Amino acid sequence: MIYKVLTANRLGDGIAVWLNASGEWTTSLQEALVARHAEAEASLEAIGKRDFAANKVLDVNLVEVEEDGETIRPIRLRERIRAEGPTVGYGENAYAPTRAA
Amino acid sequence: MYRYDEFDHAFVSARVAQFRDQVERRLSGEIAEDAFRPLRLMNGVYLQLHAYMLRVAIPYGTLNAKQMRMLAHIARKYDRGYGHFTTRQNIQYNWPKLSDTPDILTDLASVEMHAIQTSGNCIRNVTADHFAGAAADEAADPRPYAEILRQWSSVHPEFSFLPRKFKIAVTGSEHDRAAIQVHDIGLQLKKNDKGELGFAVWVGGGQGRTPLLAKKIRDFLPEEDLLSYTTAIVRVYNLHGRRDNKYKARIKILVHETGVEELTRQIEAEFVHLKDGELKLPDQDIAAITNYFAPPALPERPEGWANLAAWKKADEGFARWVQQNVHPHKNPDYASVTISLKPIGGIPGDATDSQMDLVADLAEEYAFDEIRISHEQNIIFPHVAIADLEPLYRALQPAGLGTANAGLITDIIACPGLDYCALANARSIPVAQELSTRFGSAERQAEIGELKIKISGCINACGHHHVGHIGLLGVEKKGAELYQITLGGSADENSSIGEIIGRGFEPEKVTDAVETVVNTYLAIRTHASERFIDTYRRVGPQPFKDALYGPSSKAA
């Protein structure tokens, strides 16, 4: 089944975040609240609009995910990379093997 | 190089103070994102996938050791220990906090740098030949004119809200190393029969969604008319460029839709009004700016040639590096050196803070404190004595900066792609790394010869794929990455837009596909000195298409 989570970037540092069940923004997708029906999605959207208006976050979006047991996995590659970080190493670690995404 | 005068210092400092206030008000909630976004973009602050990104301007790719050290300091203090040099000769930081950006800009201002006009629909950083001021084949150093254009275009009130961004490139040589034919305006500095300096003027080139080569609209524009003619071009564009459709808003579309003859007529008509007005460049002003770019006093170092022969004989790796990464200089005792940011299996254009510090130290020791960034994402020392090449190489090598691959198949241009960029549809960096590793052997690269691979993660073409001898465009198809191959592109004085060869390849197959293209070239070239691009122009796409898709395939 395809569900939705709410994601954004934090205002102060721009880091990608997801909304959790406590209504807080977390840097871990795996802690995100998964909306499994339309009402929950609407609720997430409302919180997103509120926190955008309150200047906590920006670029707020509902994104599609699927669940594999306990693991939340975004449908789109873009969102998987947002959640896990660049698939390549960087800086002193630039030669690290590419991570599957 | 150019040094800020009192006006420049005051202007940049005022701009930093203004942005500091804007950031504080944004963080306190006084300014909403919709209002703040254009303000941060005017100061080079983007929002990407994982974080903010700061793009810092390196005017025409020229900087000194002190400035390079500051770039290293920023990477270390405010980012994650590295930066990414771009095809506009700029540097990008991938992880700055918004709250730190005013301090970063303050640090940059202390070394006469900023991030102004690295975004937005304005005239962007003017790029230039990375060997400018040193190349044996140039008519004159193009950077004084790039600096004049920089000063003229900085917060130009008429041209701060153009239909779309606007890019200018300047070269001083017949052999174009600045890709002027894929710029909104391309300028080739040249001398006429009387020995006077002027410009061939090209207009309407660009890549992106609709790749088009520029059209030459003036074969010789006297140097005194540089600003008045450029103003005429940008004014006509500002008036008639399309604002109804972002994808048709660049001047290339205006040139295409209006026709080059009619557009030239409009530009010339506007120019008549401007020609002898306040924009006419007085000789003394050109001379004053040119003085800033006077080459360093280069002492005679004739001993280099004898040493060089012995060093090359003793060390094959050094000999290869000299062969590939050392370029002829006006002064026979000197050379220009390409410090490759394309280590085998590495990330094109990335440099760590310690690498940047080392480059700064070596620039002071061996290169008269002059550094350039090339649009091909490498670092250049324009003035190095032949006698100092060996110790320079010995110092670069342990830091991963001595790769002997300038112009070869592993000297790949790649945009940040979907690993970082909010606009991208596919990754670029892992593709570049795998290709680099596949073709990494020195012998194999030497056998293949000059071959430029350029990779973009979306149609915006920051990785210049349209003008790669082999271009790769990453797209998203049915939720997965797919790489479209173009062949036959080029960004020199014989520019061409690459042709799509056929259906795309999955990530795990694209390296094999490129290898098939390369092996096909090796099999059909007439002799070892026939470059890939020459072979392609001779035989066309069909042999490559046959090799990739089978002999029954039709040319794309």
Q: What is the ipTM of this complex?
A: 0.96
Helix (H) or strand (E) holding B216: strand B215-222
pLDDT digits (tens, 9 = 90+) for B414-464: 999 999 999 999 999 999 999 999 999 999 999 999 999 999 999 999 999
DSSP of A26-72: ES-GGGBPPB-SHHHHHHHHHHHHHHHHTTSEEEEEEEEEEEETTEE
d(CA B1, CA B61): 11
pTM attached to this predicted model: 0.97
Rounded to a whole number of angstroms, the distance from the CA of B51 to the nearest CA of chain A is: 4
Rounded to a whole number of angstroms, the distance from the CA of B516 to the nearest CA of chain A is: 23
Does residue B437 contact residue B410 with C-beta atoms inside 8 Å? no
Tell me whether residues A52 and B427 touch, CB distance under 8 A: no
Helix (H) or strand (E) holding B437: helix B429-438
B480 touches chain A (CB under 8 A): yes
d(CA B90, CA B88): 5
Whether residue B171 is predicted with pLDDT greater than 80 in this model: the reply is yes
Rounded to a whole number of angstroms, the distance from the CA of B354 to the nearest CA of chain A is: 9
Does residue B157 contact residue B197 with C-beta atoms inside 8 Å? no
Closest CA to B525 of B511, B512, B537: B537
pLDDT at B439: 98
Tell me whether residues B430 and A94 touch, CB distance under 8 A: no
Q: In whole angstroms, how large is the CA radius of gyration of chain B?
A: 23
Tell me whether residues A81 and B98 touch, CB distance under 8 A: no
Nearest to A95 among B33, B346, B481 (CB): B346
A84 touches chain B (CB under 8 A): no
Closest CA to B147 of B357, B5, B22, B310: B5
- Which residues, at least 6 apart from B257, have a Cβ–Cβ distance to it below 8 Å? none
Place of tokens 């060997």: B131
Closest CA to B170 of B194, B157, B155, B152: B152
Adjacent-strand bridge partners of B243: none
Tell me whether residues B50 and A85 touch, CB distance under 8 A: yes
Tell me whether residues B51 and A13 touch, CB distance under 8 A: yes
Closest CA to B52 of B99, B98, B104, B6: B98
**DSSP class of B504:** -
- Which residues, at least 6 apart from B236, have a Cβ–Cβ distance to it below 8 Å? B263, B266, B267, B270
pLDDT at B249: 97
- Which residues, at least 6 apart from B480, have a Cβ–Cβ distance to it below 8 Å? A77, B506
pLDDT digits (tens, 9 = 90+) for B265-322: 999 999 999 999 999 999 999 999 999 999 999 999 999 999 999 999 999 999 999 9
B345 touches chain A (CB under 8 A): yes
**Where do the DSSP E strands lie in B320-436?**
326-328, 334-339, 350-352, 371-373, 379-385, 413-414
Question: Quick check: helix, strand or coil at residue B41?
Answer: helix
d(CA A84, CA B213): 39
d(CA B248, CA B258): 13
Does residue A67 contact residue A79 with C-beta atoms inside 8 Å? no
Whether residue B556 is predicted with pLDDT greater than 50 in this model: the reply is no
Tell me whether residues A90 and B350 touch, CB distance under 8 A: yes
What crossing angle do the helices spanning B101-109 and B6-27 adopt, rounded to 10°? 170
Average the pLDDT over B467-483 and give the result: 96
pLDDT at B528: 96
Nearest to A94 among B52, B350, B427 (CB): B350
Tokens found for residue B362: 């070596």
CA of B47: which chain A residue's CA is closest? A14
Average the pLDDT over B224-238 and give the result: 98
pLDDT at B467: 98
User: Which site among B33, B55, B93 would you substitute to test the A interface, given the most A Cβ atoms closer than 10 Å to its Cβ?
Assistant: B33
- Which residues, at least 6 apart from B121, have a Cβ–Cβ distance to it below 8 Å? B161, B162, B163, B164, B165, B166
Class of residue B527 by CB neighbours under 10 A (exposed 0-12, middle 13-18, buried 19+): exposed
B479 touches chain A (CB under 8 A): yes
Does residue B520 contact residue B501 with C-beta atoms inside 8 Å? no
Does residue A82 contact residue B49 with C-beta atoms inside 8 Å? yes
d(CA B80, CA B328): 36
Question: Quick check: helix, strand or coil at residue B524?
Answer: helix
A77 touches chain B (CB under 8 A): yes
What distances in angstroms separate CA B348 from CA A8, B128, B175, B189, B455, one per listed residue? Answer: 29, 20, 24, 30, 10
Average the pLDDT over B229-248 and give the result: 97
B470-477 and B480-487 as β-strands: parallel, antiparallel, unpaired? antiparallel
Burial pattern A39-57, b for ≥16 Cβ within 10 A else e, equals eebebbbebbeebbeebbb
Measured between beta carbons, the chain A residues lying within 8 angstroms of B476 are 77
Tell me whether residues B98 and A76 touch, CB distance under 8 A: no
Nearest to B81 among A76, A91, A98 (CB): A91
pLDDT-above-90 percentage for chain B: 98
A2 touches chain B (CB under 8 A): no
Nearest to B47 among A9, A53, A77 (CB): A9
pLDDT at B555: 46
CA angle, B449 as apex, B380 and B432 as ends, to 5°? 65
CA of B347: which chain A residue's CA is closest? A94
pLDDT digits (tens, 9 = 90+) for B374-412: 999 999 999 999 999 999 999 999 999 999 999 999 999
pLDDT at A96: 86
Place of tokens 């992880």: B95
d(CA B276, CA B291): 24
pLDDT digits (tens, 9 = 90+) for A19-75: 999 999 999 999 999 999 999 999 999 999 999 999 999 999 999 999 999 999 999
Sign of CA dihedral B519, B524, B527, B529: negative
Question: Quick check: helix, strand or coil at residue A91?
Answer: helix
